[in-house]
Structure 1
């Protein structure tokens, strides 16, 4: 009887031990005893096709100021929700009052400001131009608590901040294999990042750009948990444990 009891207990423990152990700690290879200084890759935000730009002008010419202030951008597909701004078309051009069309695709925000200021100087005295990106949007999907698309003010966000906006990963999320999808010059680039390692700070994909998509892949334990073949496993384990306890009580 004792041999049967021992076998049942060992079998139950073996089933429980089948659950894989995972590292749920971010940057677990950071030194605990000393400060870690890591040179981070600084990503530059560049204007892309279909971006919506806020362009404001302050100058001695009141009419020019009003023209820029009253201009509106493109509406949504259904014709509603028309927002202020200047849309970059499929040719990478933006059409502005007074100046006309300018090529801004591929420029940094600072460079676009300089270009518009330079062109406005031909018509307006001492213009002060401010350019901002209105549609800086990222999308976080997969094993996070609040998957969604987020509009980011300030044109600066990194991967950790994006995950924070999405409520952080669930316990099933693979921290060692986060996929970042980015469109560059019409091509989709996909990079996998390991958030268990500090080296991720040096990746050009750690700082996000507009329209980036972050996908957190579920680990195999979730796949097994929701598999029809494994849904009964917790019940079987509980039953074996109960039988082992019962056998122990009977032989005393």
Structure 2
């Protein structure tokens, strides 16, 4: 019954609709959001000038009876107001800005008063996505290059199980102070032009199982109960018919 409920048209990807090339874009913009942990590095020809803006965080490892300090790059947590507390410059509102906009903001604050022709590099240290539901390997995945499509994400999770529904993949995204839901149909080429084709940090991808798998799971959970009741009924009938 389970196999008969899955047809070819429900499984094959990209079988419907032509690709609208005018809507296909390879551009991708990272949006800074609350709870992002940022590594920000300032460089310039004048090494001494940039030193106050590249403060090192120090951790200590206890070995024997001595403490050894290990310098690490300072990270900045974006608070709920979308702000970070940056050395010398103080509070900076960067939530909702793209990476390029944030870089330009820092450059405008640093030059020319503090640093001449500064270079700014920003990386999100805790960039991750979560994949749930009817896939081979559900879980949270760290994305070091901060660029991933929904197809890449599903590939990381080992692809959908044969029972996963291709026509309504759910993406949950935080936009502003709201959780927004998008639905994607993997059977259609329109997935390539979807606003969620490129995922953002902390996006959640959910794959719903098909009706047959849900029914199968329900049947399996009731199997022991049915067997117990059947055993009792058979025992009663056996006693009565003796």
Q: Same fold (TM over 0.5)?
A: yes
1:5-60 per-residue CA deviation (whole Å, 9 max, x = no partner) reads xxxxxxxxxx69953425211111267xxxx5633255532111121111111124
Task: Give the stretch that moved more between structures: 54-63 or 141-150.
Answer: 54-63
Gaps of 5+ in 1: 1-14, 74-81, 233-252
Distance 1:64 1:164, change over 3 A: farther
1:41-81 per-residue CA deviation (whole Å, 9 max, x = no partner) reads 555321111211111111244344334443449xxxxxxxx
The partner residue of 1:25 within 12, 30, 33 is 12
How many residues are treated as equivalent by the alignment?
A: 206
The answer as to whether partners of 1:92 and 1:104 remain within 8 angstroms in 2 is yes
TM-score by length of 2: 0.76
- Give 2:101's aligned residue: 111
Gaps of 5+ in 2: 59-71, 224-242
Q: Is 2:39 the counterpart of 1:54?
A: yes
SS at match of 1:174: coil
1:75-115 per-residue CA deviation (whole Å, 9 max, x = no partner) reads xxxxxxx9741111111111111222111111110111111
- Give 1:243's aligned residue: none
Q: Is 2:218 the counterpart of 1:227?
A: yes
1:137-162 per-residue CA deviation (whole Å, 9 max, x = no partner) reads 10001011011111112221110000
1:195-240 per-residue CA deviation (whole Å, 9 max, x = no partner) reads 00011222101111111000000001111222328988xxxxxxxx
Distance 1:118 1:223, change over 3 A: same
SS at match of 1:173: coil
- Give 2:187's aligned residue: 196
Divergent runs of 4+, >6 A: 229-232
